[in-house]
Structure formats: structure tokens, C-alpha cells
Amino acid sequence: MWNKIRIGVLLTACLSFFFPLTTEAKEPLTYFPIVKKGEVLEWEKVNKLLPKGATFKVVDLETGFYFQVQRRAGNKHADVQPLTRDDTAVLKHLYNDKWSWNRRAILIPVNGRMLAGSMHGMPHGAGALENGFPGHFCIHFLGSSTHRSRNIDPSHQFMILKAGGQLTKYAAGASAKQAVSMFLVGMKQQDIKIAMPVVNKALLKDPTITKLFKGITSMQYDIRSPSTRYPPVVRTEIRARVKKYDDSGLQTDTLTFLMERKSMTDGWKIIKIRF
């Protein structure tokens, strides 16, 4: 009799963990065993694997928390909605109970494969499900673009590479200008892991540099052409004009990146940043 009661209590606890009744976002609701990386697949192929109307899991790379979504629309990328209020609660939990345009690296299991993707957490546009989510949000894959401009979004693309474990590979073959873009995307998304492959290790210990990855709420940047001041094979300077919002309000800075590589076959590294 007591054994049956104990088994019943244990079963109830397990069910409560995996299928919670609450819709609050204060605690993580679901967890997915994380693999090290996903498959970086072109949007044209993903578009066929996840057609409009498809329901699938979205797994957050950093935490392992996942939720269900349904693809509702989108031709250049996937417009999706959380399936239920519980799914909305998980999504909001990932963004500290706030809606956000910040990108996050994600994994999507489909047909025995694990796809690398990127999402933001800001409801916009129309929504059709009773899920507590006022609109839809976007999921991007390799080569996907935005609806209006039809431009590829660098922040989404670097998050896709992060989800696919390909940041280091990309950095090894990047031009000096692409390496600076990688750093600035990491700064914009407040994700130092994106910038790490293109920054000298000693520079990563400088608190003046690491604080750039904290407290920014939004940011725009414009990268200028490389300087010819140094021999372009081994060293160059690149300037970027940065507009960012933080706790102090709007700030406009010009950052000068001193770039260096040891040989033609080595990747560029940022060895100094002047403000």
C-alpha cells in the first residue's frame, strides 16, 4: 500500500516537472539535453523541412530550455508563434521576463537532425493562437533575410554559426573587416563568446574591453574601410562609428581597432582598441 503511494507521489512529481500547470515565467519549465552543436543548413532547405503550419521544438543553446512553436508565415525566414501559454512563459523566461530584440542561438530537432538557428524574443505583427503572445517572432537560418530590406542580418547569422559550433572556423578565414564585424555583433548582442575568436587573449582580460559586453540595450555601427597605414598583409587599422544606448542614455563613439596576423594563412586578431 505505502509502496503504491510512494510511486504515485513520485510519478506526480515527475509529471509536474515536465508538464507544469503554471504559466508564470519565474522558473524554467522544460529542459532539453543539449548537443554540442547543430547543423548549419541553408534557408532554402530548411524552408522545406519546416513548412508553414509545422509544429516543432525550439531549444535554447545556452540553457537547454525549450518550447514548442508553430510556423505561421514568412518567405525569407520563419515567422513563428509559441504554441501555448506555457511555451510563451518559457520564451519570456529566456529573456528575463522581458520581450527583447536580442538574438539567441537555438537548436531545432527535426527528422532526426539538429538544425542551428537564431531567434529574437520580440512579439510583433499578427498572431492567431491563444497563447498570451501578442504577435509572432522570427527564426533565421543560414542565408535567410529580413522581410522589408531583404538584407541578411549579421547578428542572426553569427548566432547561427554559434549554434553550429562554427565561430572559430569563420574567424580563421575572415577578413580584418569581417573580424571587426564579428566583435561588434558580439558587443551589440552582449555575447562575448561571439567576439572571442577574433580578440587577442591578453585583451580579453582588460576590464575596459569586457565592460563593452555589459549594459548595452541597443546599438548601431558603421565600419569604415581598413587603413593603409600598416603593411596590409600583417597589420591594419579599422575604425567603426558606434551608437549605443545604455544606462547613461545615447552615446556615440568612434572605436579604432588595431588588427594583426602572423602570416597570410593566420586569422586576424584585435590586439588593441582605441576609444
The pLDDT tens digits of the residues spanning 34-66 come to 677 999 999 999 999 999 999 999 999 999 999
Q: Give the pLDDT confidence score for residue 27 in this predicted structure.
A: 43
Is the pLDDT confidence value at 20 over 90? no
Q: Which residue has the cell 522581458?
A: 98
pLDDT at residue number 17: 36
* The pLDDT of residue 33: 72
When the pLDDT of each residue in the chain is averaged and rounded to a whole number, the result is 87
Residue 2 pLDDT greater than 90, yes or no: no
Q: Which three cell numbers mark 182?
A: 564579428
Query: Which domains, from first to last, does the chain contain?
Result: 22-163 (2.30.110), 174-274 (3.10.450.100)
Q: What is the pLDDT of residues 202-222, one digit of tens each?
A: 999 999 999 999 989 899 999
DSSP secondary structure letters along the chain: -HHHHHHHHHHHHHHHHHS-S---SSS-----PPPS--B--BHHHHHHHS-TT-EEEEEETTT--EEEEEEEE-SSSEEEEESSHHHHHHHHHHTTTS-EEEEEEEEEEETTEEEEEEEEE--BS---SSSS-SSBEEEE-BT---TTT----HHHHHHHHHHTT-HHHHHHH--HHHHHHHHHHHHHTT-HHHHGGGB-TTGGG-HHHHGGGSS--EEEEEEPPPPSSS-TTTEEEEEEEEEEEETTEEEEEEEEEEEE-SSTTSPPEEEEEE-
* C-alpha distance from residue 2 to each of 9, 11, 152, 203, 241 (Å): 10, 14, 61, 62, 70
| Cβ pair 66, 30 in contact under 8 A | yes
- Radius of gyration for the chain, computed over Cα atoms and rounded to the nearest angstrom: 21
Could you report the per-residue pLDDT of 80-131, keeping only the tens digit for each? 999 999 999 999 999 999 999 999 999 999 999 999 999 999 999 888 888 9
What pTM did the predictor assign? 0.85
